[in-house]
Amino acid sequence: MKNNDFDKLRERCAVFGVSINDGSAAELTYNALLTLQHRGQEGAGMAVINNKTIICKKDVGLVTEIFDTDCINSMQSDISVGHCLCSPVSDVNDDIQPSVTEYLTGRIAAVLNGRITNVMSLRQELMTYGLTFAGTSDGEVLSKLLAYYCMINESVLEGVKYAASVLEGCFSMLVMSTGKENNKLIAVRDSSGFRPFCIGKNDRGIAVASESCAFDICGFDFIRDVKPGEVIQIEDGRITYEEIVLTNKIENTGLCAFECVYLARPDSFVDNISVYEARVNMGRILAREYKIDADVVCGVPDSGLESALGYSLESGIPLVAGFMRNRYVGRSFIYPTQSLRENAVKLKLNPLKLNVENRRIILVDDTIVRGTSTAKVVRALKAAGAVEVHMLVSSPPIKFVCKFGCVEEMEENLIANIMSLDEIRQKIGADSLNYISITGLKQAFAKCAIPQCMQCFCAQ
């Protein structure tokens, strides 16, 4: 790939790791990756430790396409890490994680959810030491950086801590190691807490995941979130080290607001806030900010449904199902090309004519990024007989590219940058259009334990 490929926004993914005492790490990781598949559909991978050797399986595709029963049975282990990939480039083979690196006294496997903004300078530094790279992913650079400092410091924990201190950007990462030291799992969250990261526990061991919904499926109790800047070491199913060691290098950042608006599953808790409750709150606040005379409220599946419920509860206007969703089509936002996104929208949603015909509809969705998908949804409702469609959005207008990878379009492609509110309304074919305010979104997140980053909505 060309060097300018590193400038692309990338790495909005899911990670999971577990240290357990009964050999079921691979099975648990498989179930967790299935649960976290909404964060990345283009590739997945898993690594386990077996007799001081790291076995890694990864490929393009969905989790169910990559791993079968025989594969999982062959990877029985007490410790594992896994990853689901979302990449904006069409050729994702080099970006699939885990990234495995062998060094003089050990081996590590690393998985990353985030974007390392100084990855190019780190890569160039490592190349001066004679290291080579197969791909362009942050994960591969991270893995080799970690291995180098683990060797230099003669300690995995100290090596990971030092490597983390030179990283810039956002990251929730897991490092699994084997060698002359005990097998261990180390979790690190960046000092802003930009990506979600949490810890679960049961009587057999400890797990760490991008979202708490993975614990529900795998039989772990949610313990707490990994704190911003914290490093946690897990050995033999026990936490043996936990300390905040990283200082904040980036001002005006915190948990990405887009997590609760769109990315996270509604059954997850992120930094002390229920994603479901936050989205219902967004709908309630929309109802206070915009009183609309209409017959029914509909949500755009899936992440607009909770906000639609909130609007209905606050306004008293009945909530109805506006669409039948095809469960075999993935999330259109995270397809790598516009043509794939447009085709996915056509296949994914079909209006329920019985509920929308001859009715004035309040339609609630989470975001408008490019406007293409929204226009198709509005047209579909009107073709099914809706008299009016009033569009409400539970996030503010997206005007700025996120350097950490949440919004992938260039700023000139973001519809809120190139059109006025009324021009957007006309383009999508709605009878009215309104967005939640920045103040309203902050109110919806009031219970969150850390600040929120809203730089894609406003210059902070």
Q: Residue 118 to residues 7, 36, 124, 163: CA-CA distances in angstroms?
A: 11, 27, 10, 12
- Residue that is written with structure tokens 């609630």 in the block: 364
* For the chain, percent of residues with pLDDT exceeding 90: 75
Rounded to an integer, what distance in angstroms lies between the CA atom of residue 285 and that of residue 310?
Answer: 8
Rounded to an integer, what distance in angstroms lies between the CA atom of residue 256 and that of residue 193?
Answer: 8
The residues assigned a catalytic role are 13
Residues 6+ apart with CB under 8 A from 171: 112, 113, 114, 115, 116, 142, 188, 189, 190, 194, 195
The band of 341, judged by pLDDT with boundaries at 50, 70 and 90, is low
Burial class (CB within 10 angstroms; exposed 0-12, middle 13-18, buried 19+) of 69? exposed
pLDDT digits (tens, 9 = 90+) for 379-436: 999 999 999 999 999 999 998 888 776 665 677 788 998 999 999 999 999 999 999 9
pLDDT digits (tens, 9 = 90+) for 36-47: 999 988 899 999
Domains and CATH numbers, the chain: 3-250 (3.60.20.10), 258-453 (3.40.50.2020)
Q: What is the pLDDT of residue 342?
A: 54
Which residue type occupies 117? T
Q: What is the pLDDT of residue 369?
A: 87
Which residue type occupies 249? K
* Residues pairing with 20 in the sheet: 205
Q: What is the pLDDT of residue 333?
A: 47
pLDDT digits (tens, 9 = 90+) for 140-168: 899 999 999 999 999 999 999 999 999 99
The residue among 130 and 8 whose pLDDT is bigger is 130
- Based on its alpha-carbon atoms, the radius of gyration of the chain, rounded to whole angstroms, reads 22
Neighbouring CB atoms inside 10 A of 184's CB total 23
Residues 6+ apart with CB under 8 A from 223: 198, 199, 200, 201
Alpha helices in 199-330 (DSSP H): 213-218, 257-258, 275-289, 305-315
Question: Are 197 and 226 contacting, i.e. CB atoms less than 8 angstroms apart?
Answer: yes
Neighbouring CB atoms inside 10 A of 199's CB total 23
Q: What is the pLDDT of residue 339?
A: 58
Q: Please tell me the pTM assigned to this model.
A: 0.90
Question: Are 95 and 109 contacting, i.e. CB atoms less than 8 angstroms apart?
Answer: no
pLDDT digits (tens, 9 = 90+) for 254-302: 999 999 999 999 999 999 999 999 999 999 999 999 999 999 999 999 8
- Whether the pLDDT of residue 8 is over 60: the answer is no
pLDDT digits (tens, 9 = 90+) for 83-137: 998 865 545 677 789 999 999 999 999 999 988 889 999 999 999 988 888 777 7
Q: What is the pLDDT of residue 7?
A: 29
3-state secondary structure of 367: coil
Identify which of 187, 166, 167 has the alpha carbon closest to the alpha carbon of residue 176.
187
Mean pLDDT lowest among 5-14, 68-77, 305-314: 5-14
pLDDT digits (tens, 9 = 90+) for 212-236: 999 999 999 999 999 999 999 999 9
Rounded to an integer, what distance in angstroms lies between the CA atom of residue 158 and that of residue 154?
Answer: 8
Rounded to an integer, what distance in angstroms lies between the CA atom of residue 430 and that of residue 423?
Answer: 10
Q: What is the pLDDT of residue 4?
A: 34
Question: Are 199 and 214 contacting, i.e. CB atoms less than 8 angstroms apart?
Answer: no
